Structure 1
């Protein structure tokens, strides 16, 4: 096709969208801002790290196009590529706040986190999501999913946060790729060799029919430009991240023990009767819930014994003037893929409902209720039904709620006594102002299980473990995570299952100090790259990118 948009590469796509003669690329290949983390793994880097940032005009309006190159590392987000996106979006936000309107357009051709820089990818994606949510208060943030790779992983959550999403019939959208689901849950859950099933489930025909993508256009540059211009002119916003009652009502009417096919889900989606949902605070009970570090610390910090909730996997309550929230396992849960504490459909939307209610209740208050997130999430849920319904949108709803709470003035602190993995961590933890973790080697913190990461990167587990020795961002332990500069505090002397008064008092004091540190500081996540560890070693490349963007944004 002579005017194909799909067949273009990232730089060509950006040039094709913007008006001829108006374009200027920022941090271009001649800047040579490459990832410092790939060559130690014997991977050849790219001089633009797979992301093109181009300013110009779109039908005469100021615009910035952010294009991800799917041909480089599957469009995975690493430290440099992520920092380029964040810095560009932050400048667009500042311009809009100053009354200088500029429209951001994101071209998503991405598998999500770049597993060779796993924890950098997760941090970057959470920071991208934060700025998108802030930007949407001023202008529509338009997303394009042309094809090739599609939009997967943590960037599918980002996709669900965008105002308006346009794609072709060659695109797919989903949180977990079929190979990952097959690895984690078995071939009977999702057969990654069944191409028809994959396209029928994740392709844009189904995604448009069930509200996951807004518009499907022909694979044509002009068609994309026209759709973008119309979305900007009409200020289109589907508010996908705030459809909480719709999906909680849908899940009420779903029997997960029964098979669910594509036609059955379409019928359910279009016939659902929407009711309001508000989760009451957790209460004490006589029966202990399924054991976990997250549950233990929720009960110890709130004083609620054997905490029970109408949604068994989501605990929340106020204590000491703070709102505590935990996602916990439930061995008998009707959704089998969340029985070990994974974040699934119900968890994402329920957490969003709780936080949205808090935002509304505190809207007129000068002093907002602080949020304390207790993080012990082994991953997101891996299941066919979850992908068909769109688990990435459930997680996006939680991300959005936490980010909007923080941006509205709620202090948000995440305390990590357990695992913090993948989309589960993005949905519950990574939108915090402050991250606190126990110095406990039993904690796993990463973007994907070792088995799945090895399969996707075509390595053995032994080769993967060897690579982690050279790149701390690939490691699975909390000690290496601290080296990135992401943690506000790593707490020594307390373990995940400690329950003595001294341990509890220690954590209460650390949380109180973290909250106090947020007095009179910006409601953003800049601490992660401005603290001493980050500046000296953990986020050096991030800070270099940010400085370059500062120098180049206005020419």
Structure 2
């Protein structure tokens, strides 16, 4: 006999979901609609804003434990993350972290119903997701961060990386977890790569049951509020082992090195492969027959003096060097036309790349664990995007990217200075994985240096605009623009380096670039703060770039009881 649902979480709105989970009479909303903290960037684009910006924060108790529920409203802009909504989520986690550090434990629960970054605010979403990720990585050391993916939309885009970082994930069978939505994969790679209308296949690939069966989600529940409450409690009570999946680097890298994807692997086959603890016949990924020049490779070679990469993955270059006496590990993602994952041959961050980045960042952490002055880590950023592909979604590219985020954030927190040098494209999940967790960001002032969440063509299709209309909107909303000057207006850049030929630098240009990295390094060394809050304290951020982000955090502090 089918069990009757007494109270559905899936069918409820975000605010209802939060109040349903908390003990009755204990819950109150922080930064609710009457505070009218709406997005300041939508009206200029003829989009009606919402007073809570689609992000609900409700504090109370759950089974008597102090709890804060952060619930994303999928019915507003597809649950997209903009400046205000992103600041509400990041700011709440930062406040919980502060409470936990003061021995006032608060349990955070995030309810995901999101397609990722809100394209109408683009780079604000990228900055917010980096800050959300940083907060989760630090907060997990004090209290489990529980993520719930109940259904409707699921968790996609950059927000899937934050889901991958959660201590535990609770899903329904209706819930979906992937980096690139099926429609986006079809749009980028073609219907032969993935037919987004084949719903049965999609759920077999990225649905809650599949993610749970292969160990990428911790609990699958039937849709009833009491079931979600019990699942949360089981995480808190220690009944559910916290897998720390993003730290299982050797396991996943060994698996993906062993895969042959010349023919499509079915979800059923993938299930068996992902269940294996020790995949066999692991081989080193073949090096490219011809080296493809790219900006990332060029500047990697400049920084390392042409040293040979120590990486076992040819698309991830890694070398240890001294930059004017400062010990450094330099990491770059570069094209590899021989990459066995054919959707990641042009410098994209894919299954191999994310885990490889994590491997070599964590290796530096282990090697320097006994040192007071830990080596500088320099991600050289020239990444066109994450890989869009069937196998990437099937095997969890979101987790590969989460592992890189986790590694960089963890290294930063234990004292590794990280200076990300943007020399080319810095797009979407690839930039979140490789660069955005740095203490300081520097960039070349060059028209080929772009920061965004998606290619212009794709962004135009999804927002139902022409490319010309996108460019026009970007004049009023700098966060939508692709050029590095517009990104600078958001206040996150430490330095925009002028007068360098990005493609054919002279020795003087190389010297200027190196000096800029060392200036950022020195600035980090003078700063006791190891989180990403410096991006909210720059003159540009305070004056104009992150005004709403700062205001949201102030209001959370004021309304917290």
TM over 0.5: yes
Judge conservation of contact 1:278–1:357 (CA < 8 Å) in 2. Answer: no
Map of 1:273 onto structure 2: 278
1:58 aligned to 2:62? Answer: yes
Corresponding residue number in structure 1 for 2:495: 489
- Tell me how far apart the structure 2 counterparts of residues 361 and 277 of structure 1 sit (CA, whole Å): 25
- Is 1:548 aligned with 2:538? no
Which residue in 1 is equivalent to 2:462? 456
Q: Which runs of 5+ in 2 are unaligned?
A: none
Matched, 1:249 2:257: no
- What's the counterpart of residue 150 of structure 1? 154
**CA distance in 1 between partners of 2:284 and 2:345 (Å):** 20
Shift of 1:460: 2.7
Aligned to 1:324: 330
Q: How far apart, in 2, do the equivalents of 1:52 and 1:278 lie? A: 47
Contact 2:123 2:453 survives alignment (8 Å): yes
Contact 1:289/1:306 (8 A) holds in 2: no
Counterpart check, 1:406 vs 2:412: yes
* Contact map agreement 1:140 1:236 (CA 8 A) in 2: no
Alignment of 1:342-381 (within 5 A): 342-381=348-387
Q: 2: CA distance between counterparts of 1:109 and 1:214?
A: 18
Distance in structure 2 (CA, Å) of the matches to 1:172 and 1:92: 27
Give the drift of 1:225: 0.5
Q: TM-score, normalised on structure 2? A: 0.95
Q: How does 1:279-290 map to 2 (within 5 A)?
A: 289-290=291-292
Deviation for aligned residue 1:272: 4.8
Trace 1:125-144 onto structure 2 (pairs within 5 A): 125-144=129-148
Whole-Å separation in 1 of the counterparts to 2:512 and 2:220: 54
TM-fit CA distance, 1:466: 2.1
CA distance in 1, matches of 2:88, 2:241: 26
Greater alpha carbon shift after TM alignment, 171-180 vs 491-500: 491-500
Matched residues in 2 for 1:315 and 1:25: separation? Answer: 47
User: How much has 1:454 moved relative to structure 2?
Assistant: 1.9
Q: Does 1:218 align with 2:225?
A: no
Per-residue deviation, 1:275? 8.7
**Which residue in 2 is equivalent to 1:336?**
342
Q: Does structure 1 conserve the Cα–Cα contact (< 8 Å) formed by 2:257 and 2:283?
A: no
Q: Does 1:113 align with 2:117?
A: yes
SS of 1:371 mapped into structure 2 = strand
SS across alignment from 1:418:
strand
Shift, 1:339, TM fit: 1.1
Corresponding position of 2:544? 537
Residues 1:67 and 2:71 are matched in the alignment: yes
Is the 8 Å Cα contact of residues 437 and 487 (structure 1) preserved in structure 2? yes
**What secondary structure, in the 3-state scheme, does the structure 2 residue paired with 1:89 have?**
helix
Judge which range, 384-393 or 85-94, deviates more.
85-94
Aligned-partner Cα distance in 2 for 1:141–1:267:
28
The answer on 1:178 being equivalent to 2:212 is no
Q: What runs of 5+ residues in structure 1 fail to find an aligned partner? A: none
Instruction: Please state how far the C-alpha of 1:461 moved relative to its aligned partner.
Output: 2.5
Quick check: 1:249–1:272 contact (8 Å CA) kept in 2?
no
- Residue deviations 1:403-455 (CA, integer Å, cap 9, x gap): 00000111111000110000000000000010000100112210011122122
Corresponding residue number in structure 2 for 1:31: 35
Matched, 1:397 2:399: no
* 1:332 CA drift (Å): 2.3
**SS where residue 325 of structure 1 aligns?**
strand
User: In 1, Cα distance between the equivalents of 2:336 and 2:53?
Assistant: 42
How many angstroms does 1:256 deviate by?
A: 1.9
Q: Quick check: 137-146 or 194-203, which moved more?
A: 194-203
Does structure 2 conserve the Cα–Cα contact (< 8 Å) formed by 1:118 and 1:446?
yes
Match of residue 527 from structure 1: 534
Q: Shift of residue 236 of structure 1?
A: 4.3
Match of 1:290, SS? coil
CA distance change for structure 1 residues 319 and 209 in 2, over 3 Å: closer, same or farther? same
Paired with 2:99 and 2:426, the residues of 1 have a C-alpha distance of 35
Runs of 4+ in structure 1 deviating by more than 3 angstroms, as ranges, are 274-280, 285-288, 305-309
Deviation at 1:552, TM superposition (A): 1.4
Is 1:442 the counterpart of 2:445 in the alignment? Answer: no
Find the residue that maps to 2:424 and give its secondary structure: coil
Equivalent position of 1:262 in the other structure: 267
Q: In 2 relative to 1, CA 287–203 (structure 1 residues): closer, same or farther, beyond 3 Å?
A: closer
Match of 1:470 among 470, 476, 480: 476
In the TM superposition, residue 520 of structure 1 has moved relative to its aligned partner by 3.6
What SS does the aligned partner of 1:410 have? coil
Q: CA deviation at 1:209?
A: 1.4
Cα distance change, pair 134–279 in 1 and its aligned pair in 2 (3 A): farther
1:277–1:353 Cα contact (<8 Å) kept: no
For 2:281 and 2:534, locate their aligned partners in 1 and report how far apart those are by CA, in whole Å: 37
- Going from structure 1 to structure 2, the CA distance change for 1:171 and 1:437 (only over 3 Å counts) comes to same
Partner of 2:66, secondary structure, is: strand
State the aligned residue count.
Answer: 550
- 8 Å Cα contact 1:437/1:489 also seen in 2: yes
In structure 2, what is the Cα distance between the partners aligned to 1:101 and 1:334? 46
**1:338 Cα offset (Å):** 1.4
Could you tell me how far 1:309 is from its partner in structure 2?
4.4
Q: Which moved more, 1:5-14 or 1:460-469?
A: 460-469
